[in-house]
Amino acid sequence: MTFHQIEFPKTHNLKEILDLVAIKNPKLADSLRESQILSSYAISARYPGDFPKLTRRQAQKAINLAEKVKNKILKEIELKK
C-alpha cells in the first residue's frame, strides 16, 4: 500500500487490506483472498491466554499462507522497481 501511495488503516483485518489492494491490483488481491483466515490468528495471538487451539495441520496451513502472501507481495514490489 505504501509502495502505491494508498492510505490504509492500522488493522489486522486482511479483508480490509485486500479490498484496498484490489483498487490497484485486483488480480493480486483475488489471488490472496484465502489468506483472510490469518486475521483471526493475528488478533488472538496478541492477548495472553487467548491463543487459538490449532492442529499441526492448521498451523502448517497458516504458515504456508503467510509465506504465499509474503512471496507474492515481494514479487509484486520487485516487478514495479
pLDDT tens per residue, range 9-23: 888 889 999 999 999
Residue 37 has pLDDT above 70, yes or no: yes
Distance separating alpha carbons of residues 81 and 77, to the nearest angstrom: 7
Task: Using only the alpha carbons of the chain, give its radius of gyration.
Answer: 14
Q: Is 43 within the bounds of a domain?
A: yes
- Residue 18 amino acid letter: L
Spell out the residues 6+ positions from residue 58 whose beta carbon is closer than 8 angstroms to its own.
none
The whole-number pLDDT of residue 49 equals: 65
Q: Is 52 within the bounds of a domain?
A: yes
Q: What is the mean pLDDT of the chain?
A: 85
Name which of 14, 19, 61 is nearest 42 in CA terms.
14
Structural domains of the chain, count: 1
* Full domain range(s) for residue 20: 14-80
Q: Is 40 within the bounds of a domain?
A: yes
Q: Is 55 within the bounds of a domain?
A: yes
Q: Is 61 within the bounds of a domain?
A: yes
Please state the pTM of the whole predicted model.
Answer: 0.75
pLDDT-derived band at 26, boundaries 50, 70, 90: very high
Distance separating alpha carbons of residues 41 and 47, to the nearest angstrom: 11
